[in-house]
Amino acid sequence: QVQLVESGGGSVQALGSLSISCKASGNTYSTNCLGWFRQVPGKEREGIAGIESDGSTSYADSVKGRFTISKDNAKNTLHLQMNTLKPEDTAMYYCAADYDCSSGTWSSTTDWGQGTQVTVS
């Protein structure tokens, strides 16, 4: 099991930038994919960015070119840099561990953070 704690959410204006982070602890050694999902009421939870143990990244089309995922292995911390934000980026953002990075699909083994709200106006 991996424990995930997020920080950095908040409110920003359209076209602005925001960075959110996730601190991981527990059994992270066997986890290949770490990343971010987001969800709005009435919508499915959407995988938006993932990074594998070798550093390879994947992004949903909706955020490609605007968001950048990175990790600090020494600090077990995941980051998401969000630029040129749009109102449609408003959502609850969740960090996730152990899912399929290439497809953005979670499973019963996926661990989740508590979520952090990002509001773009």
DSSP per residue over 16-49, as a string? --EEEEEEEEES-TT--EEEEEEE-TTS--EEEE
- Please, are residues 103 and 34 in contact by the beta-carbon 8 Å criterion? no
pLDDT digits (tens, 9 = 90+) for 42-84: 999 999 999 999 999 999 999 999 999 999 988 999 999 999 9
pLDDT given for residue 87 in this prediction:
98
pLDDT digits (tens, 9 = 90+) for 4-48: 999 999 999 999 999 999 999 988 777 889 999 999 999 999 999
pLDDT given for residue 83 in this prediction:
98
DSSP letter assigned to residue 13: -
Please list, in sequence order, all residues whose beta carbon lies within 8 angstroms of the beta carbon of residue 50, skipping any fewer than 6 positions away: 33, 34, 35, 36, 57, 58, 59, 69, 99, 101, 102, 104
Q: Is the pLDDT of residue 107 over 90?
A: yes
